[in-house]
């Protein structure tokens, strides 16, 4: 194993572990030991650290509100829990007359057998009712918790669709995924079991104590005195196991995060021959997980037996004191028998509740992370009187018809405060014009397109379409009128046809083919095994980069939007195909206002206006010929005559 520096170890634990919110989606489950479940949901807990939630009562209230929508079912569950607890207590209480009957001196054998049969049948009937109650309780509760979970999951997913692009730009996929997987799983775990268990535990505890007093108050007091000791022990062990459990979850998050990054970066690892180092680092993280897991499992595992043995003390105590009471007072053998049973029974809920703590803490931490996303501000809502727009070719009733004039006036913008990316941009694109943005990497070209379709809101300046401020236009209407080929291509799992039709859902098959022809994608699609019905894997990984781009262009081509934005749409396509596309593109751009961004300047030559951006400022603008004649920045970019500095 290669040596890993202390500094790197710190980075590994911090980057992949719970200290960073950007850890992977996890998904590894701990093996649940027979007794307590220190494992529970695996994976990172982001900034939460898998530990205690920050605002417990608010989170609990919010969770309860989700299950509260099924309140009649919840009441039914509580009634069933009450039923099963009461029957279990009653069943054991009946044992008293049954035993007393057997040991009584003044009954005949026949009478005893008769009474015994009656007693046993009564107990059977009581326990049957108990089983029925438990069954119903479980069934109804699972239904309630699944309903709640589905509501939370759907709400979270809806929220995800409404979050601004900024949220997705600033949060890793791993982190968002882990909220859907681990965090929701742990919430589900708690909703399924914990609620009814807490209720039944408390009922059993209270019921047993009452019955103890009813049976023999002196003995009851002797046993009650041991409760604080039991609670103290359960609390101490619980705290210890919780501490180690937290460490285990963090380490698990680190391992999961590392695996995620390694899987997605596998090619780069191979290219740079980092396999050995990667394995070494993984070994380090996995060793760390092992040592933390060992402690967590140990403390979690011994909790049951330790508490079980401790409860034997109260058992012995009640047997001894009870025996003495039998000999010295009129305390009966039946009473002693059920009392010793109770003394065992009453520590059980304390054990169970303390074991539930791990699940509860994991679930609350998970719920908090889920609610955190839900509380993120959504995209700026459309104003009440938001305007709907449409193009002539695409008439929508009640919508304002636009010609496609786009104007940026004095637009200044930065993604983060104090770092201005675009400075005083003024551009006007007349309807049907082709405007090109060129400039070096990081100049702010993509940023302009992000502003035109309101992925980000501008603070200074104004962007308008046909004179209407885009802030006054409904966002879906605005985006519906702008067809875009993004710089990063993305395809969905589905057929080629479906992926093209994504641009306009009501497009006919003929229109799909026509769009593919415009994008010069038709011939390669024809060569695919099933043509337009070929199923693409996630993000079209079974296509070449250039082919993916052609499909993205086809998707924009099928739309009837009057404004078109092409951000490096053909950067991965060979120059011959690019030339070929150009002809199709000319048809596509006809009557549409088009913004083209391209590093390959040959593709922007025929633009009506070329804008040269440097460091967020317009440094030159004009037609290709004008700019060349100027002999400035564009000339340098075009001829490659850049002075190396």
Neighbours of 231 (CB within 10 A): 14
CB nearer to Mg ion: give 362 or 411.
Answer: 411
CA distance 49 to 627: 56
Q: Which is nearer to Mg ion, 285 or 438 (CB)?
A: 438
Pattern 389-428, Mg ion, x by CB under 5 A? ----------------------------------------
Out of ligand ATP, Mg ion, none, which partner does residue 415 contact, by CB within 5 to 8 A per kind? Answer: ligand ATP
> Residue 166 Cβ, how far from ligand ATP at the closest point, in Å?
7
Please report, as ranges, the residues that interact with ligand ATP according to CB under 6 A. 169, 415-416, 421, 441-447, 487
**Which C-beta is closer to ligand ATP: that of 181 or that of 487?**
487
Closest contact distance (angstroms) between CB of 614 and ligand ATP is: 10
Nearest to Mg ion of 147, 487 (CB atom)? 487
- CB of 568 vs ligand ATP, minimal distance in Å: 6
The count of residues in the chain is 645
443 binds, among ligand ATP, Mg ion, none (CB under 5 to 8 A by kind): ligand ATP
- Sequence-ordered list of residues with C-beta below 8 angstroms from that of 162, at least 6 positions apart, any chain: 378, 379
* 618 beta partners: 613
Q: What is the CA radius of gyration of the chain?
A: 35
CB 41 within 8 A of CB 366: yes
What is the smallest separation between the CB atom of 406 and ligand ATP, expressed in angstroms?
17
Contact 224, 211 (CB under 8 A): no
Question: Is residue 438 packed enough to be buried (19+ CB in 10 Å), middle (13-18) or exposed (0-12)?
Answer: buried
CA distance 591 to 597: 19
Specify the residue, 522 or 633, whose C-beta has the smaller distance to ligand ATP. 633
Smallest distance, Å, CB 599 to Mg ion?
9
Is residue 567 within 8 Å of residue 485, measured between CB atoms? yes
Determine the angle formed by the axes of helices 71-103 and 195-215, rounding to 10 degrees. 30
Q: Is the CA virtual torsion 453, 455, 457, 460 positive or negative? A: negative
Q: Whole-angstrom Cα distance, residue 609 to residue 530?
A: 42
173 C-beta neighbours (distance < 10 Å), count: 13
Residue 441 binds: one of ligand ATP, Mg ion, none (C-beta under 5 to 8 A by kind): ligand ATP
The minimum distance between CB 604 and Mg ion, in angstroms, equals: 14
**Between 143 and 442, whose beta carbon lies closer to ligand ATP?**
442
CB of 445 to ligand ATP, least distance (A): 4
Closest approach of ligand ATP to the CB of residue 596, in Å? 13
Among residues 208, 226, 446, 520, which is the contact residue for Mg ion, using CB under 5 A? 446
The item of ligand ATP, Mg ion, none sharing an interface with residue 154, based on CB under 5 to 8 Å by kind, is none
Question: Of 420 and 487, which has the nearer Cβ to Mg ion?
Answer: 487
The 593-597 sheet, strands edge to edge: 482-485, 563-567, 593-597, 434-439, 609-614, 617-622
CB of 449 to ligand ATP, least distance (A): 8
Q: In the numeric block, which tokens belong to residue 467?
A: 């004179």
Closest CA to 28 of 192, 193, 258, 359: 258
Residues 467-506 contacting Mg ion, CB under 5 A: 487
Residue span binding Mg ion (CB under 5 A) among the ranges 90-98, 225-233, 365-373, 445-453: 445-453
- Contact yes or no for 198/78 (Cβ under 8 A): no
Q: Which residue is nearest to Mg ion (CB)?
A: 446
Residue placing its CB nearer to ligand ATP in the complex, 441 or 529 = 441
What residues line the site for Mg ion (CB under 5 A)? 446, 487
């Amino acid at each position: 194993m290669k040596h890993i520096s202390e500094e790197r170890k710190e980075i590994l634990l911090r980057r992949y572990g719970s200290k960073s919110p950007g850890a992977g989606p996890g998904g590894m489950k701990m093996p649940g030991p027979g007794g307590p479940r220190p494992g529970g949901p695996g994976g990172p807990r982001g900034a939460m650290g898998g530990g205690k939630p920050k605002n417990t009562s608010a989170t609990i209230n919010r969770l309860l509100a989700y299950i509260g929508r099924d309140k009649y079912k919840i009441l039914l569950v509580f009634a069933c829990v009450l039923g099963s607890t009461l029957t279990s207590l009653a069943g054991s209480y009946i044992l008293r007359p049954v035993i007393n009957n057997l040991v009584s001196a003044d009954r005949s054998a026949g009478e005893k057998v008769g009474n015994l049969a009656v007693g046993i049948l009564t107990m059977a009937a009581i326990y049957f009712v108990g089983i029925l109650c438990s069954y119903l309780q479980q069934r109804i509760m699972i239904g309630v918790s699944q309903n709640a979970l589905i509501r939370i999951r759907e709400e979270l997913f809806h929220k995800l669709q409404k979050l601004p692009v900024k949220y997705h730009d600033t949060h890793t996929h791993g982190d968002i995924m882990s909220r859907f997987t681990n965090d929701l799983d742990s919430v589900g775990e708690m909703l399924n079991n914990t609620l009814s268990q807490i209720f039944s535990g408390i009922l059993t505890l209270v019921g047993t104590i009452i019955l103890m007093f009813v049976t023999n108050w002196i003995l009851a007091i002797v046993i009650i005195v041991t409760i604080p000791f039991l609670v103290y022990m359960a609390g101490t062990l619980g705290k210890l196991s919780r501490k180690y459990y937290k460490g285990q979850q963090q380490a698990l998050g680190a391992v999961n995060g590392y695996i995620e990054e390694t899987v997605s970066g596998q090619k780069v690892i191979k290219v740079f021959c980092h396999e050995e180092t990667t394995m070494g680092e993984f070994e380090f993280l996995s060793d760390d997980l092992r040592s933390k897991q060992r402690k967590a499992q140990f403390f979690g595992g011994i909790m049951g037996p330790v508490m079980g043995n401790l409860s034997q003390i109260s058992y012995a105590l009640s047997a001894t004191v009870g025996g003495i009471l039998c000999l010295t007072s009129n305390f009966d053998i039946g009473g002693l028998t059920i009392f010793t049973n109770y003394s065992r029974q009453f520590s059980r809920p304390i054990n169970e509740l303390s074991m539930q703590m791990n699940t509860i803490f994991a679930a609350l931490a998970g719920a908090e992370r889920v609610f955190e996303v839900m509380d993120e501000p959504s995209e700026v809502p459309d104003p009440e009187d938001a305007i709907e727009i449409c193009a002539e070719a695409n008439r929508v009733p009640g919508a304002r018809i636009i010609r496609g004039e786009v104007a940026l006036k004095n637009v200044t913008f930065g993604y983060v405060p104090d770092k201005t990316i675009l400075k005083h941009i003024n551009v006007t694109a007349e309807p049907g014009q082709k405007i090109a943005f060129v400039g070096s990497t990081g100049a702010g070209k993509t940023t302009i397109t992000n502003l035109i379709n309101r992925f980000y809101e501008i603070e200074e300046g104004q962007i308008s379409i046909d004179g209407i401020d885009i802030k006054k236009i409904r966002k879906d209407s605005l985006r519906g009128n702008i067809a875009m080929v993004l710089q990063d291509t993305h395809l969905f799992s589905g057929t080629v046809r479906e992926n093209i039709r994504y641009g306009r859902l009501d497009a006919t098959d003929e229109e799909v083919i026509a769009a593919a022809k415009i994008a010069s994608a038709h011939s390669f699609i024809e060569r695919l095994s099933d043509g337009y019905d070929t199923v693409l894997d996630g993000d079209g990984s079974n296509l070449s980069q250039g082919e993916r781009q052609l499909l993205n262009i086809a998707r924009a081509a099928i739309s009837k939007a009057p404004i078109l934005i092409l951000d490096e749409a053909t950067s991965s396509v060979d120059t011959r195909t690019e030339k070929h596309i150009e002809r199709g593109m000319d048809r596509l751009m006809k009557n549409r206002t088009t913004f083209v961004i391209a590093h390959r300047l040959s593709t922007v030559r025929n633009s009506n206006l070329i804008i040269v951006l440097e460091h967020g400022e317009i440094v030159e603008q004009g037609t290709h010929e004008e700019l060349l004649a100027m002999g400035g920045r564009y000339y340098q970019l075009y001829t490659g005559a850049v002075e190396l500095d």
